[in-house]
């Protein structure tokens, strides 16, 4: 297994530790785990492209690892009312539509590449989550209020980008529906 794939696997292994830290309200530990796992997303892609180590495993597992990490955080945050449940529903609905379209396209031998808007969505989500993790740590302080505002801005920006990228994905690949 090459280094980029090991980084992807490490990101997936970090998820249960992140979940445990969050559930135990060790928000700083959860923050560190989430940020470290998110950074592996940048490096696995960078190293795979730079050293021509792109693999089928990486093509499948890298985006899956991202989704498992981010959506685990969002599920936990819905559970404790940090984010609204409807936001997670919108985010997951987009993912189900895209995954369904990719499955149908793949059955026809068509590969649909990820769009830049989807990558921007992921980055915005990976910024929103750590900010949201720091809100309870700094609650009641001026810094806590500033972090709360920033977290909400990134959360809403990621939600808007989620909807936009989902619509863009459907529009660019609508021929999948006609086959």
- Render each residue's pLDDT in the chain as its tens digit; 179 residues: 899 899 999 999 999 999 999 999 999 999 999 999 999 988 888 888 889 988 888 888 888 999 999 999 999 999 999 999 999 999 999 999 998 998 888 888 887 777 899 999 999 999 999 999 999 888 889 988 999 999 999 999 999 999 999 999 999 988 877 76
What does each C-alpha distance from 121 to 146, 147, 171, 178 come to in angstroms?
Answer: 22, 20, 17, 27
Q: What is the pLDDT of residue 102?
A: 86
Task: Enter the pTM of the model.
Answer: 0.90
Q: What is the pLDDT of residue 29?
A: 97
**CATH superfamily entry for domain 3-178:** CDP-alcohol phosphotransferase transmembrane (TM) domain (1.20.120.1760)
93-132 burial, b at 16+ Cβ within 10 Å, e below that, comes to: ebbeebeebbeebeeeeeeeeeeebbebbbbbbbbbbbbb
DSSP 9-58: HHHHHHHHHHHHHHHTT-HHHHHHHHHHHHHHHHHHHHHHHHTT---HHH
Q: What is the pLDDT of residue 90?
A: 97
């Amino acid at each position: 297994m090459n280094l980029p794939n090991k980084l992807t696997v490490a990101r997936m292994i970090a998820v249960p530790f992140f979940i445990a830290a969050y559930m135990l309200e060790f928000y700083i530990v959860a923050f560190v785990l989430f940020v470290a796992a998110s950074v592996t997303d940048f490096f696995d892609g960078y190293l795979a492209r730079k050293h021509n180590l792109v693999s089928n495993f990486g093509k499948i597992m890298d985006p899956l690892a991202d989704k498992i990490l981010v959506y685990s955080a969002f599920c936990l945050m819905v559970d404790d009312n940090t984010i609204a449940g409807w936001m997670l529903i919108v985010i997951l609905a987009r993912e189900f539509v895209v995954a369904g379209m990719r499955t149908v396209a793949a059955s026809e031998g068509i590969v649909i590449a990820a769009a830049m808007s989807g990558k921007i969505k992921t980055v915005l989500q990976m910024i929103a989550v750590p900010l949201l993790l720091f809100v309870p740590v700094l609650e009641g302080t001026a810094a806590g209020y500033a972090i709360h505002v920033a977290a909400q801005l990134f959360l809403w920006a990621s939600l808007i980008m989620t909807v936009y990228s989902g619509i863009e994905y459907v529009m660019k690949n609508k021929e999948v529906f006609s086959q």
